[in-house]
Amino acid sequence: MKRTLITAALIAALPTTVLAADFMMRVRAIDIKPDASSSLPLDVSSEWVPEVDFTYFVTPNIGVELILATARHEVTLGGVSVGKLNHLPPTVTVQYHFNPTPTIKPYVGAGVNYTRFYNVDLAPGLSVSKNSFGGALQAGVDIEVTKNGYLNLDVKKIWIDTDVSSNGVKLTNLDINPVVWGIGYGFRF
């Protein structure tokens, strides 16, 4: 009987807990600056793209953020273009928001990313591995500009790598490892 009452109380409290959740959505313009390295002189272009993220605040100081963006980069070998590819690197970070105040909310975060390479259009015979898993670090600040609106400044380091092959034979591992600078607007609800 006691277990049934506790279960019923938890089920009854669930909608209240979900409705009382604290979320933030941000839209940013980001500058992806790869720090490419490999045993060959490969490089990957920097690109400006839009990004969107969703943060769920578990407590006033702890947030979990899902970051979504995609970009198309040019790949060069010794300064000569060998084609382009797209990547989609959804990233999840756990953030700590230092001493949140009503107006300025700095944070740091750490997490993981999964990168999917697609729309690969490289020179004939060249290919890349489709999947990559890596870590991510993040720092930023939300500055209140309206009651629930924030100017956001953010920087992330994301570890992304892929194998580069020619006709199925691995040539090298390409570490892309971008630093991602962002500026945007967030709305908390």
pLDDT in tens, the chain (189 residues): 555 444 444 455 544 444 445 999 999 999 999 999 999 999 999 999 999 999 999 998 999 999 999 999 999 999 999 999 999 999 999 999 998 787 999 999 999 999 999 999 999 999 999 999 999 999 999 999 998 999 999 999 999 999 999 999 999 999 999 999 999 999 998
Each domain of the chain, given as residue ranges in start order, spans: 21-188
User: Which residues face 149 on adjacent strands?
Assistant: 187
pTM equals 0.85
Tokens 């273009």, residue located: 81
For the stretch 67-87, what's the b/e string if a residue is b when 16 or more beta carbons lie within 10 angstroms of its beta carbon? Answer: bebebebebbbeeeebeebeb
Sign for the pseudo-dihedral over CA of 61, 66, 68, 73: positive
**Backbone phi, psi, residue 15, to 5°:** -60, -35
The domain made up of 21-188 has a fold known as Porin (2.40.160)
